[in-house]
Structure 1
Amino acid sequence: MSDNWKELVADKRKRQQDSIPREWLIKSPPSDQLDVTSIAAECGLLTDLEYEITELQDVAALLKRLATGELSSVDVTKAYYKRAIIAHQLTNCLTEIFVERALARAAELDEHLKTTGSPVGPLHGLPISLKDQIRLKGIETTMGYVSWIGNYAEHDAVLVEILYEAGAVPFVRTNVPQTLMWPETFNNVFGRTINPYNRSLTCGGSSGGEGALIALKGSPLGIGSDIGGSIRIPSAFNGLYGLRPSYGRVPYSGAANSLEGQDSIPSVFGPMTRSLSGIKAFMQAVIAGRPWSKDPLTIRKAWDNDAYQLSEHGHGKNLVFAILWDDGSVKPHPPILRGLEFAKKALLAAGHQVVDWKPYKHGEICANLGLIWSAGASEDYRTNVGQSGEPIIKSMNPNVLPDAPSFRPSNDGLSAYQLWQAQKDKTRLRKEYLDYWEASIHQTGTGRPIDAIISPVAAYAAPPHGMNKSAAYTMVWNALDYTALVIPLKMSVDPKTDVKILRDGFLGEDDQHAHFNSTFPLDDPQVYKNAPIALQVVGRTLEEEAVIGMSEVVDAAFKAHVGADAKL
């Protein structure tokens, strides 16, 4: 196979490097410094005002200061741009960098506010980062494929159109894995993105660039995509809030994607941020933009404030949360179990009910999802890499042997008839799970079924590179099309607290592998040191407003209960 594709990569990487202002380069920390979250404060690049701006956590508060002119969009955009470049030098999180274009957009917004006295829209002046599949007119969109280098978008994606109308400032694009279909982030064009809390660990994927960037406060709000956990996994691994909406709630038209044409399990766009107010602000702004008038697959559904006020969930009083302690296939590691125990105590202390949730056919649901995905995946991947000659990446492990078995599907999938049968099974499983959820009315005492499920996002915190080989704790909700929102617990893996639990037995081969392999014990807390701990709040289909409302209740309970049970 020809190596000509490497010349394209070398040129692309040089152009990316040249797009970074020389004065924004910093001295790299030593390679053995695993936690790099303090570098922005120490490197001297940011002014006092820029540091203050980027330390603001509450997106709603930042939007208010932008809308009133207390902060200019130029100042805010420049501050986040500089911090994004710092983050990139530490984690390799960015793909497209277009400083002058973003600052020009910010200046236009400042001038509009000055001359009219009114902001352009609900996201006025806010810098927003975009996963590298959301097309911006005039910007390359490679999505991690060498063959897509030089592919300049002729039109903005519909979501970008709406963001512009809302007053936002798209300012960077972020790294993804080749094909998008990985829970880690590495491709042949830009390389590997790593976790800022512990650089020996993965940032997750496929929205891994967003996860690392926002964790290092290089963006106040980013947009990822999720077909099997690609928003929630990097949100959890990087200590962020992240929302997986239901199919069709956020417009996708005009964006690039893998497995295009596979619409049984659609990918969805959603927000990632360091504050719940950012999740709400994004969803309200996008829905207010009437996306169904621009994207035929977007659902015509206005923001439902009654649902947000939890009108169907006891108005937020005496909520009933079901905790998924395990999915029947893999038991969570000690740090995740500690997070679940903390959640139970916090919710009980806040006056809510907590019940146990027995997983219903989670293994079968995930297997069905994988069957649908793989129906044409192998041909899709071959088609996209074949144009350049780059190899299909078969492992995220940097030390993988050339003859190691591939993680990728190796066959050409299913016949059309076989795919129809898999889709029929998916419909059956969704109906069965709906009935299962409804039947919980008999154990709540509230006259309604459980309000939401509290679930792990993964069985472990962010693992070493190449070791995140399952997305079962997130995939199940994609197959059921349930809205899910990740909440960071402001806790991290502590080897002194999260001691290894000796197991007498395992649920099966997957469970055994998740706790031990021939290289090192996968449940050794030393491996995951300093990795964030997070959980997800799961509601039902198209319950975005209610899930945001319930997540605010959960988040408040967690923050009120921080103490001896949580290591800050």
Structure 2
Amino acid sequence: MPHWTALVAEKKQRQLNSIPQDWLTCGLLNAREIEITNTSVDVLLERLASAEWTAIEVTTAFSKRAIVAHQLVNCLTEIFVDRALARAAELDDHLKKTGKIVGPLHGLPISLKDQICIKGLETIMGYASWIGKYADKNAVLVDVLIECGAVPFVRTNVPQTLMWPESFNSVFGRTPNPYNRSLTSGGSSGGEGALVALKGSPLGVGSDIGGSIRIPSAFCGLYSLRPSYGRVPYCGALNSLEGQDSVPSVFGPMTNSLSGVKVFMKAVVNAKPWLKDPLAVRKKWDEDEYNLADHGYGKDLCFGIMWDDGVRSLEITKAALQKAGHKVVDWKPIKHRLLQQVTMDILTAASTEDIMITTSVTGEPIIATMELDDTGFRPQNSGITAYQLWQLQKLRQNTRKEYLDHWEATASETGTGRPVDAIICPVAAYAAPPHGKNSYTNYTTVWNGLDYPATTFPVTTVDSTLDGQEPPHGFYDDFDQYVYEMYDPEKFKNAPEEAVIKMTEIVDAALTATK
């Protein structure tokens, strides 16, 4: 086995060789390609279906823009333009001969996080030790997307192990934030976040076990969805902590347009993934749920807002919803610290052993920090027994029941006769922070522990005039004080399932109406 550094050097050279050499230039896209890559998912699909735009030219446009994005923020891992164009040509030929599209995603280029296996390609997941590990078949989700007419065309960067809310590894390096390169793009789907934000992909697929879709989407200003367990097929993909199925990782969409979230979910679940993945939930798209049949059909909704001290975007959202005729009440969270802790204890019960076994193949170093210096955090093996793990799972189960009862009890204060229809809360305690400083995932991990579907939507970006630091005040704890002291408005400048999708559309429409 070659030394891990030799493996990395050889892999990086192969990655460079996979880029068409005449694409390593400025002014790469023509006016039509710029128009294509600035178009929302729903309009792209309409124009592809009508043959106004061919799959070849749409795939070419996004492939070029992905290469531009990669040169700016180092967001790609596998680049397979020739394969994607061959697939696009097949789709164009089918439409020309039959007059029919292949499926609901006909001709749409889709990028994938570097853990979703594609036959014949390596899946490295940030490990030098996995260089040369070629997939002998597609992950089920890839087969489903191809069946729906999509065109997979690139895969994107992740942190070593995936178990970080930032994106850095020893093979491909760091993916910074596209709006401010001194800040993080988030993780572990940070490559997807950066690529989609730069419109190098109309729709990307990330994964989420503690916030890995929502954190990079929030830091990069995207729409996204963390679905509930089993709604999107996971079979055949690689992961860390495989075998841990109490708090499963889930796949979900990341996109610049809210239409892309619905298009992806509806296409995937209507493809009957449970026939290919035994853990996929047997549940087609439910139009009644999307139309909010159990929520007054979207009229006079009541949203609960979980506040964070001094978060301006929540004030904007509250005002927009009230202006649109909806009610907003304060959400009183219960046991979030416990939910965060028990979820992380379950996830990390054997994490050190998992990582050590993987890296021992080549002796590559285990990355101890995402910072540019020597401090940081890394999930540690709690060294617990099977019995102790069962007690954690039991505690989580009981706490989920308490949270459900707490939510149902809000019916007494909403005035609608229903409990709160949805909760709005921050994704993080800050906008995209400097590299190595994203060490708090409580705002996202609790929803993984509860298995509540969650979307993200962009509201605004940091404005150094409007978002000055608050005067010194009492702090909840040491971490609250750390976030306060870390914040500098100039440093942070520019950091940006059926029912939950529909309610996000309602919130987004209310925000749009105020702009």
Q: Describe how 1:45-194 pairs up with structure 2 within 5 A.
A: 45-56=28-39, 58-194=40-176
Which residue is equivalent to 1:555? 508
Deviations 1:355-377 (A, max 9, x none): 00111110010011111011111
Deviations 1:429-472 (A, max 9, x none): 10000000000001011111000000100011000000000111
Which residue is equivalent to 1:388? 362
Q: Which amino acid aligns with 1:506?
A: F
Aligned partner of residue 503 in structure 1, secondary structure: coil
Deviations 1:211-237 (A, max 9, x none): 000000000000000000000000000
Q: Are 1:217 and 2:203 matched, yes or no? A: no
CA shift for structure 1 position 413 = 2.4
- 8 Å contact 1:3–1:390 — kept in the other structure? no
Q: Distance in 2 between matches of 1:296 and 1:480?
A: 22
Q: Are 1:6 and 2:5 matched, yes or no? A: yes
Deviations 1:466-502 (A, max 9, x none): 000011100010000001000111x211111101101
Which residue is equivalent to 2:480? 511
Deviations 1:527-568 (A, max 9, x none): 101111xxxxxxxxxxx1000111110000000012xxxxxx
Q: Are 1:458 and 2:442 matched, yes or no? A: no
Q: Pick from 439, 442, 465 the counterpart of residue 496 of structure 1.
A: 465
Aligned partner of residue 181 in structure 2, secondary structure: coil
Aligned partner of residue 382 in structure 1, secondary structure: helix
- 8 Å contact 1:379–1:412 — kept in the other structure? no
Which residue is equivalent to 2:489? 525
Which residue is equivalent to 2:331? 357
Q: Describe how 1:197-346 pairs up with structure 2 within 5 A.
A: 197-326=179-308, 331=309, 334=310, 337-346=311-320
Q: Which amino acid aligns with 2:384?
A: L
- 8 Å contact 1:378–1:413 — kept in the other structure? no
Q: Pick from 492, 499, 502 the counterpart of residue 546 of structure 1.
A: 499
Q: Which amino acid aligns with 1:318?
A: D
- 8 Å contact 2:464–2:490 — kept in the other structure? yes
Which residue is equivalent to 2:17? 18
- 8 Å contact 2:348–2:380 — kept in the other structure? no
- 8 Å contact 1:5–1:146 — kept in the other structure? yes
CA shift for structure 1 position 408 = 1.9
Which residue is equivalent to 1:348? 322
Q: Distance in 2 between matches of 1:365 and 1:287?
A: 29
CA RMSD of aligned residues (A): 1.1
Q: Distance in 2 between matches of 1:266 and 1:297?
A: 11
Deviations 1:233-263 (A, max 9, x none): 0000000001000000000000001100000
- 8 Å contact 1:494–1:529 — kept in the other structure? yes
Which residue is equivalent to 1:39? none
- 8 Å contact 1:378–1:408 — kept in the other structure? no
Q: Distance in 2 between matches of 1:170 and 1:411?
A: 36
Q: TM-score under structure 2 normalisation?
A: 0.99
Q: Which amino acid aligns with 1:476?
A: V
- 8 Å contact 2:345–2:382 — kept in the other structure? no
CA shift for structure 1 position 503 = 2.7
Q: Distance in 1 between matches of 2:330 and 2:478?
A: 24
CA shift for structure 1 position 411 = 3.8
Q: Pick from 379, 401, 407 the counterpart of residue 377 of structure 2.
A: 407
Which residue is equivalent to 1:44? 27
CA shift for structure 1 position 3 = 9.0
Q: Distance in 2 between matches of 1:504 and 1:237?
A: 26
Q: Distance in 2 between matches of 1:62 and 1:323?
A: 34
Deviations 1:266-301 (A, max 9, x none): 000000001111000000110111001100000000
- 8 Å contact 1:175–1:193 — kept in the other structure? yes
- 8 Å contact 1:213–1:219 — kept in the other structure? yes
Q: Which amino acid aligns with 1:373?
A: L
- 8 Å contact 2:37–2:200 — kept in the other structure? yes
- 8 Å contact 1:374–1:413 — kept in the other structure? no
Q: Which amino acid aligns with 1:345?
A: A
Q: Which amino acid aligns with 1:304?
A: D
CA shift for structure 1 position 412 = 5.2
CA shift for structure 1 position 409 = 3.6
Q: Distance in 2 between matches of 1:418 and 1:86?
A: 49
Q: Distance in 2 between matches of 1:62 and 1:298?
A: 29
Q: Distance in 2 between matches of 1:284 and 1:248?
A: 14
Aligned partner of residue 482 in structure 1, secondary structure: coil
- 8 Å contact 1:229–1:471 — kept in the other structure? yes
Equivalent residues, number = 515
Aligned partner of residue 474 in structure 1, secondary structure: helix
- 8 Å contact 1:288–1:302 — kept in the other structure? yes
Q: Which amino acid aligns with 1:193?
A: T
Mark the runs of 5 or more structure 1 residues left unpaired by the alignment: 27-42, 517-521, 533-543, 563-568
- 8 Å contact 1:224–1:272 — kept in the other structure? yes
Aligned partner of residue 363 in structure 1, secondary structure: helix
Q: Which amino acid aligns with 2:136?
A: E
Aligned partner of residue 555 in structure 1, secondary structure: helix
Q: Distance in 2 between matches of 1:410 and 1:250?
A: 29
Q: Distance in 2 between matches of 1:89 and 1:414?
A: 44
CA shift for structure 1 position 320 = 0.2
Q: Are 1:433 and 2:386 matched, yes or no? A: no
CA shift for structure 1 position 510 = 1.5
Task: Identify which range, 498-507 or 198-207, moves more after superposition.
Answer: 498-507
Aligned partner of residue 529 in structure 1, secondary structure: coil
Q: Are 1:368 and 2:330 matched, yes or no? A: no
